[in-house]
Amino acid sequence: MLVLMSHAFLARSTRARIVSRDTIEALVARSDAVIVARINSVDTVVEGRVIVTLDVDELLKGEDLRQYIFGADQEMKVLANDWKARKAKLLVFLAKSQRRSNSGEFQNGFKYVLESNGNPPTIVELIDRAAGWECKVTESYMFTMDYKTGEFTEMLKAGDVAAAARSYAKANASVSDESYQMPISQDAIHARIFEGSSCSLVIPVDEALRKLAVQWATSLIDGRRILAAGMLGHIRTDESIAILKTLLKDNAHIAGGGVKGGRYVVERVYEARWAAWNALTRWGVKVERPILFEIESDEPWPREK
């Protein structure tokens, strides 16, 4: 069974909204500590805050401690006590609270808090049943990215989530927490998280992403070159600058139409050029502004029958 919990309990909205969810790789990269643990104690402290002590079974990332202690809201208490009573094995993502504080001080005196940017999950319960790993469908989804293909996969088994977290933490011990929001084009994944507007999955900016961006920069598929320009805009190197300069002449584009001044105008937007030019100018690289927009068609409106 895969049971997911977010520090921020989010209610689904009936209004369309932009959705951006973490991949397991982004969650590991951004966390200061990733551990497999069991709850030792749950205590209530000042102003209803809860302090949870974890006994570490396995350290995937972070300080080599026998116990981790983190602070949480009162709403955590029921869940934590249930996990404690069942001696549940948990995969926990933690952040140093001072990184979440504008003052640079520990929040409410706690060194660690649950890692969360508003998107689930932050705790995964690992339940090993004789019949194999099972899944409970919740509002929280776990995704991983194949950096060789750029394709995303939804993980429904707790064992897969733990294995993916373990593998990424081992291979990327010093990766930064900078991230890139990858727009979703896969129908199955899009359908899972779509809430009426655009949706994306967050991936860390790391060496694997750099290699994928370099590969896609010369792809015959327009969409991949557009994405490559966006990715490289997060990776400032001489190589990135050289590639982005070539993409200033790229013809990958999208077209959109609308009524303007009694005419129906279809405008072509050169997305790869736009992303490349935006990155280069942001970095202070002097380049000539390319043609970013062109009129594809301009006709009277309404059209004559």
145 and 62 within one domain: yes
> 109-134 burial by CB neighbour count: b if 16+ within 10 A, else e?
ebbbbbbbbebbbbbbbbbeeeeebe
Question: Residue 7 pLDDT > 50, yes or no?
Answer: no
231 and 160 within one domain: no
- Indicate the burial class of 245 (C-beta count within 10 angstroms; 0-12, 13-18, 19 or more): middle
- Indicate the burial class of 154 (C-beta count within 10 angstroms; 0-12, 13-18, 19 or more): middle
Question: Residue 137 pLDDT > 50, yes or no?
Answer: no
243 and 111 within one domain: no
Q: What is the pLDDT of residues 145-155, one digit of tens each?
A: 998 889 999 88
DSSP single-letter state for residue 110: B
Amino acid 139: pLDDT: 39
pTM score of the predicted model:
0.81
152 and 65 within one domain: yes
285 and 174 within one domain: no
142 and 130 within one domain: yes
Domain end marker among 202, 218, 234: 218
- Indicate the burial class of 108 (C-beta count within 10 angstroms; 0-12, 13-18, 19 or more): middle
139 and 8 within one domain: yes
Confidence tier at 71 by pLDDT (50, 70, 90): confident
Amino acid 77: pLDDT: 85
Please compute the mean of the pLDDT values over residues 89-105 and round it to a whole number. 72
Q: What is the pLDDT of residues 177-217, one digit of tens each?
A: 789 999 988 888 888 888 777 889 999 999 999 999 999 99
211 and 121 within one domain: yes
What's the CA dihedral at 184, 186, 192, 194 to 10 degrees? 40
| 3-class secondary structure per residue, 25-37 | HHHHHHCCEEEEE
159 and 62 within one domain: yes
Domain end marker among 188, 218, 248: 218
253 and 192 within one domain: no
Q: 88 is in which domain, residue-wise? A: 2-218
Please count the structural domains in the chain: 2
Domain end marker among 218, 244, 279: 218
227 and 122 within one domain: no
